[in-house]
Amino acid sequence: MSREMICINCPMGCRLTVDDADKANITVTGNTCPRGVTYAVNEVTAPKRMVTGSVKVQGGTIPMVSVKTREAIPKELIFKSLELLKNVTLTAPVHIGDVAAADICGCGVDFIVTKNVDRV
Amino acid sequence: MIKVNLVIVGGGPAGLAAAKSAYDAGERDILILEREAELGGILNQCIHNGFGLHTFKEELTGPEYASRYIDEVVKRGITYKLNATVIDVSNNKTVTYVSAQDGLVQVQAKAVILACGCRERPRGAINIAGMRGAGVFSAGTAQKLVNIDGYLPGKEVVILGSGDIGLIMARRMTFEGAHVQAVVELMPFSSGLNRNIVQCLNDFDIPLYFSHTVVNIKGRERVEGVVIAQVDDRLQPIKETERFIPCDTLLLSVGLLPENELAKNAEVQLSPTTGGAVVDENLMTNVEGVFECGNVLHVHDLVDFVSAESENAGVRAADYINGVTPCREKTVISCTNGVRYCVPTVLNRDEVYAPQSFKMRVANVFKKVELAVLADGVKVYGRKRPVVAPGEMENINLTAEQMKMLKQAKSVEITLIKGE
């Protein structure tokens, strides 16, 4: 199947056409430099995204604290991971790097806190 | 009246970086005035990642990036006041602030760094016709409601403007369960990063309509929908293309303006192009001892560049307090052939020849151009670029030798040379 995508490596924003009919030989056209090929192949084989959000925090100076996935997770887990966050309530104090939700959907990546919140 | 050597207005990324570097340059008598309840500025609500690639060589979220600088400021024991709003800066560097704790306080400074950031353009700035129901927010207001306060401001959303904040909020609202119907962009291109178009819109099949705008807002109590239309090449809406999109929320991401009300009080000369001050290579304004850095000077794409610029301002302010006097004679840098602006705006005609970086923006998308710096019409610097766009700030780094040529010239020009 042939797909169109915009390369995100630089402001050039090349319009790439990726053909992955033959999984062993994915072809990319429209790229100006080799980075376009790497990007396109990753996008059609194993796309990953960082997910950031916020969770409730009790007894802190602010009501919500921001979190992120420690590293990028498979794209198809984005909404499942966000569903998880709805049921998380942390208790202040929390610190940058604290685990907010461990091993998201069994993918081995944790949600970690990205802001220090003191207790009131 | 309290006396302080260096007053920094604003405790966001610009103010924090300026404070840190002024301290490291030997200045110990520093006061940061921040109107919010915590340091960090707008970074606190920018919970997405992508900050710090240049400064820290890793991708941080906004709060993480802020905490790095907050830690540096705290570690140095630099004084800061929270919930303290500066209401006036005079041209003899008297800074007046109010806070619930201190009341109204006047501070006499030897140098002032204005690091008060920028503000979003509101509905009134773009004159959208229609009713005035609830549900029209600037993208940044919606961002604060969602990320800091934990409220979702609407469920069916249209976003006007495809700048990075608009794109980021399209994804954020989607993550929180809202449905983003469309992002509408007046120009035929986006001023946002490609990465954000891909990861905030394409990932969630949110349509982006170029050369379209919102011409009317319907809904007496609450927004019930917006009328969008295509625009012609003079950006005028085409009547026949009007169509109604039902929605309860309209987010505006239609540009940022440097916040220079305090600068005006201090009689600082402003640039009509950037909305920020006219500054020399030391980031000093026309008012001696008053400096600007960060988004109050010109709106940046990346916080990393704000930090770098502000660290420079901190050092220069410390130098000024130590008796380095500014030169009175200036050369105004002219921007031509598609270059919209450059910072610094003027150069001192002195004999200080140090490496200098220039930040510039172009007025349109141009392919295969050379960014060039001319001294009396002679090319001192040139760099070929496959493409330049208004959404991407360009950096020009000149050596001390090149700066000498500029400072000795009668005219300095930053320009685009087009063609092969």
Average pLDDT (B229-240) is 96
- Chain A interface test: which of B58, B194, B197, B205 (most A C-beta within 10 Å): B194
Give this complex's ipTM. 0.88
Average pLDDT (A7-36) is 86
Tell me if B48 and A52 make a contact (CB, 8 A cut-off).
yes
pLDDT at B420 over 60: no
Distance in Å, alpha carbon of A103 to nearest chain B alpha carbon: 19
pLDDT tens by residue, B245-266: 999 999 999 999 999 999 999 9
Tell me if A82 and B48 make a contact (CB, 8 A cut-off).
no
Query: CA B133 to CA B120: how far, in whole Å?
Result: 20
Alpha-carbon distances of A26 from A37, A38, A42, A43, rounded to whole Å = 9, 11, 10, 11
pLDDT at A8 over 90: no
- Chain B interface test: which of A32, A52, A56, A112 (most B C-beta within 10 Å): A52
Tell me if A49 and B198 make a contact (CB, 8 A cut-off).
no
| B contacts of A32 (beta carbons < 8 Å) | 386
Per-residue model confidence (pLDDT) at position B195: 83
pLDDT at A2 over 90: no
Q: Are B33 and B89 in contact (CB under 8 A)?
A: no
Comparison of pLDDT for B2 and A4, the residue scoring more? B2
Per-residue model confidence (pLDDT) at position A11: 61
Per-residue model confidence (pLDDT) at position A13: 75
Nearest to B50 by CA among B67, B71, B64: B64
Give the pTM.
Answer: 0.93
pLDDT at A110 over 70: yes
pLDDT at B18 over 80: yes
Rounded (5°) CA angle B399-B400-B401: 90
Tell me if B44 and A11 make a contact (CB, 8 A cut-off).
no
Query: Would you state the structure tokens that stand for residue B61, as one six-digit string?
Result: 């979220």
Least CB–CB distance from B67: residue in A7, A75, A116: A116
Name the band, by pLDDT with cuts 50, 70 and 90, for residue A91: very high
Distance in Å, alpha carbon of A114 to nearest chain B alpha carbon: 6
Nearest CA in chain B to A62: B148
One-letter identity of residue B125: A
Least CB–CB distance from A54: residue in B147, B193, B392: B147
Least CB–CB distance from A11: residue in B60, B149, B389: B389
Query: CA B93 to CA B78: how far, in whole Å?
Result: 20
pLDDT tens by residue, B47-76: 999 899 888 988 899 999 999 999 999 999
